[in-house]
Structure 1
Amino acid sequence: MTLTAHVPTGHASRYLQQLCKHWSHKFDTDFDAEQGRIAFPMGPIRMTAAPDTLTVTIEPNGDADVERFKQVVADHLDRFAFREAPLTFDWQ
């Protein structure tokens, strides 16, 4: 299963990098200003930054609580985006 959300924001690159840096102390991460990957325990997270959108893709493991996974990602990004939070996640 793969779920993707297109999150409208003018600060996609900043939030992508902040989230990757935040979790780099616990998990394997790889990122630059435009793309990021986090080896999260519930499954991998991939992000892509565009000028007005942060695209977030999660691939929950078979035993992962999908709703919790989505909420953890959204909550962390909302913390970094506190000036414009809550961000809109249209998971598909």
Structure 2
Amino acid sequence: MLTAEAHIATDRPGRYLAQLCKHFDNKGRHLSHRPRTHALPEVRPDQIQVEWSDNDGLLRLPWGQCILRAVPGALRVRVEAEDQENLGRLRDLVTTHLGRFSRRDPLRVEWQSSEASVDAPGEAVPTRRRPGGRTRFLLIGVAVVAVAVHLALGGTVLAHTSWTGWAVGFLVTVVVAKAALVGGLALRRHGRRTG
């Protein structure tokens, strides 16, 4: 296995690690129906695997893998591939993306061939796939419970005819306002993750 490493000086190594991992996680999910902004030859969405935590990341592509580690003052990157062509492809891919992500304060990426390990290949990387998945289910659960509570309250109010007119209007207004608020927050969160 051929390897190359880069020790990239930056004040925000965790930010760049997360940005790179989120980008490839997103490309893996949407590659089949989004226009390609850069060439990823012979890659299907199911061939991209991304795992990351605050300080460690792992990108697996058909032609090799990239191990990332955020350390104080630097982002350490190690790419591994079976042949020189794929190793070069991985180096170029990481360099290009980090260059694009750091346009205001460009990062300097210098690769060195390596036999020494940044991380042992079998070392466990804490996994976080597609952040927001659990949060999305939690928000859906909260929305279902809120609708059920409002329907129950509405039924109770309708049973007491003296409250019917103003109470129904109030409940409808509250339900619509809450639905708009939850929907707006969900769209804002989705826009931040894909942006």
Identify the TM-score tier after normalising by the shorter chain: 0.7 to 0.9
CA distance in 1 between partners of 2:107 and 2:72 (Å): 19
TM-score (norm 2): 0.44
Q: Which amino acid aligns with 1:32?
A: S
Does 1:71 pair with 2:92? yes
CA distance in 2 between partners of 1:88 and 1:62 (Å): 21
Does 1:43 pair with 2:44? no
C-alpha distance 3-72 of structure 1, shift in aligned 2 (>3 A): same
CA distance in 1 between partners of 2:52 and 2:11 (Å): 18
Structure number with higher helix proportion: 2
CA contact 1:42–1:64 (8 Å) conserved in 2:
no
Deviation at 1:73, TM superposition (A): 0.8
The structure whose Rg is larger is 2
Instruction: Please give the per-residue CA displacement for 1:38-65, whole angstroms capped at 9, x wherever unaligned.
Output: 1122201000001211000000133743
Q: Which residue does 2:9 correspond to in 1?
A: 8
CA distance in 2 between partners of 1:86 and 1:33 (Å): 20
Structure number with higher strand proportion: 1
CA distance in 2 between partners of 1:62 and 1:9 (Å): 29
CA contact 1:81–1:87 (8 Å) conserved in 2:
no
TM-score (norm 1): 0.87
* Aligned residues with identical type, % of pairs: 29
Alignment RMSD = 1.6
Worse-superposed segment, 21-30 or 54-63: 54-63
5+ long unaligned stretches in structure 1: none
CA distance in 1 between partners of 2:80 and 2:5 (Å): 9
CA distance in 2 between partners of 1:68 and 1:29 (Å): 17
